[in-house]
């Protein structure tokens, strides 16, 4: 593995209903990611054309100092500005982990 790229830690929501992982435009700007085109996306806000980027996804939990790269060079769809978090982690990343929901409405995510 090569050198660790610039990492921008943001608050993200695990979204089992989302096909793709999404980031806000300001996160893409801070990471110096340029849009690679536009694509149609369907969200709770309806059908819209959004920018998409290529990027890596790292996850860390709580206040741990490090993280682990979960996905490399995946399509990151631009997240609607109306959403309160800076990123949504979709099934494209979640399927690379062991994800379990319990009857007590808790979840377990193993990398």
Task: Encode pLDDT of 22-41 as tens digits.
Answer: 999 999 999 999 999 998 88
Is the pLDDT confidence value at 105 over 60? Answer: yes
Q: Which two tokens stand for residue 85?
A: 């978090």
Where exactly are the structural domains of the chain?
12-110
pLDDT tens, 40-97? 887 777 788 999 999 999 988 776 777 888 999 999 999 988 888 999 999 999 999 9
pTM: 0.84
State residue 6's pLDDT score. Answer: 80
State residue 99's pLDDT score. Answer: 82
Q: Does domain 12-110 have CATH number 2.40.70.10?
A: yes
State residue 1's pLDDT score. Answer: 53
State residue 90's pLDDT score. Answer: 94
State residue 41's pLDDT score. Answer: 83
% of the chain at pLDDT higher than 70: 95
What DSSP letter does each residue of 17-82 carry, written as one string?
T-SS-EE-HHHHHHTTPPP-EEEEEEETTEEEEEEEEEEEEEE--TT-S--EEEEEEEEEEEPPTT
């Amino acid at each position: 593995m090569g050198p660790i790229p610039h990492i921008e830690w943001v608050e993200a929501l695990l979204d089992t209903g989302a096909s793709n992982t999404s980031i806000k435009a300001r996160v893409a700007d801070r990471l110096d990611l340029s849009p690679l085109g536009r694509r149609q996306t369907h969200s709770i806000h309806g059908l819209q054309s959004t920018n998409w980027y290529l990027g890596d996804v790292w996850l860390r939990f709580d206040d741990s100092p490090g993280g682990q790269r979960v996905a490399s060079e995946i399509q990151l769809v631009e997240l609607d500005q109306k959403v309160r978090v800076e990123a949504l982690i979709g099934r494209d990343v979640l399927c690379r982990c062991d994800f379990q929901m319990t009857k007590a409405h808790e979840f377990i995510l193993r990398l």
